[in-house]
Amino acid sequence: MSETIEVSVVGGSGYVGGELLRLLLFHPQVSVRQVTSARLSGRFVYTAHPTLRGTTSLQFTHPDALDRADVLFLALPHGEAAKAIDMFADKAERIIDCSADFRLRDTESYEQWYGTPHPAPEWLSRFVYGLPERNRAAIADSRFVSGVGCNATVTTLALAPLVDGGLLDHAVADVKVGSSEAGAKASPSSHHPERSGSVRSFKPTGHRHQAEVVQELGRGFRLDFSVTSVELVRGALVTAHCFLKESTSERDLWTLYRKHYAHEPFVRLVSGKSGIHRYPEPKLLAGSNYCDIGFATDELSTANRVVTIAAIDNLMKGAAGTAVQCMNIMLGFDETSGLGFPGLHPI
């Protein structure tokens, strides 16, 4: 498809909104019509997103003045999209919601993990979970696509070949995450003297993204899931201790992962035997849409332990990048369009 489409970003003053703009303003088949923010209405977008200075004359629009567009990206705080989804659906043929509101498929699961009844339960079945590596065909056919949880994305992609291959008995996954996962609003835990230099066990059990991993990979294995906040701004790295049903060599893992991700444009296998960066490193992925995945077998284990390691930029593959990838799929564009940046080194 070679046409140019008009998109708007609703709730564009946060970090995900900023990343969406950085991608969409340079996308060859996209024109950004509006970016909304109640707080910054009338201000130039570089007020919130300083790297966009000189690249666009866009100003934030008040949400009440939202016009029709071909695609709406919703980058609102969790809970806000669901409350107004009927109104948004009248404004655009297609919606990509980056919040957690429409990620889970059933109301029971939503209530269990989010602690309140879903505000628009009739909409859950209309949304497709927006992870192309799991749901590409459904995304292509859908008008409504959800965002993905960053910690869920990195874990799902790390484990998927083992689960789909019927090899995984159980996994203990610890995700180390950067501070940008907490969003652009300050909180006591983001205060510099508290945050700087910390390795904080943010959610040792009960993290909501666990529900997304189970939804996408099924219940054929047991998952234990912890999240630790570390000294990064961007990035998520999962170290998953995977206990397999049978002994598997590293060569076999290479073959399995290579086959599983052979046609995925944003998954790279990084399980090196030489050099400094032998395994996935989130720092190198800042600004890129790649998910790097590696693995190592434990030759001494009596429980068939394999450690899988995966890294992403949480704001990109874990949010805005995947959302734009979904837009490309929904519109029939080249899936990689606007997403070619490979990251920086050194950084």
Partner 1 sequence: MSHSAECPECAAKVTLPDDAVVGEIVQCAECGVELEAVSQDPWKFARAPEEEEDWGE
Among 254, 336, 345, 347, binds partner 1 (CB under 8 A): 254
Whether cis (ω within 30° of 0) applies to the bond prior to 50 is no
Residue number, 120 or 296, with CB nearest to partner 1: 296
Residue number, 125 or 255, with CB nearest to partner 1: 255
Residue number, 169 or 250, with CB nearest to partner 1: 250
The active-site residue out of 98, 150, 242, 326 is 150
Tokens 């904080």 found at: 200
The yes or no reply on residue 269 touching partner 1 (CB under 8 A) is yes
Assign 69 to helix, strand or coil.
strand
Among 191, 222, 258, 345, binds partner 1 (CB under 8 A): 258
Site residues for partner 1, 221-250, by CB under 8 A, read: 250
Residue number, 26 or 254, with CB nearest to partner 1: 254
Query: Shortest gap between Cβ of 111 and partner 1 (angstroms)?
Result: 45
Question: 313 Cβ partners below 8 Å, 6+ apart?
Answer: 234, 235, 236, 282, 285, 286, 287, 288, 289, 321, 343
Task: Please state whether beta strands 200-203 and 267-269 pair in parallel, antiparallel, or not at all (unpaired).
Answer: unpaired
The yes or no reply on residue 273 touching partner 1 (CB under 8 A) is yes
Tell me, yes or no, if 150 is annotated catalytic: yes
Other residues' Cβ atoms within 10 Å of the Cβ of residue 329: 22
# chain residues binding partner 1, by CB under 8 A: 12
List 94's β-bridge partners, or say none: 71
Return the closest-CA partner of residue 96 out of 143, 166, 64: 143
Cβ proximity of 47 and 111 under 8 Å: no
Query: Shortest gap between Cβ of 294 and partner 1 (angstroms)?
Result: 10
Contact residues toward partner 1 (CB under 8 A) are 250-251, 254-255, 258, 269, 271-275, 278
> Where in the sequence numbering do the catalytic residues fall?
150
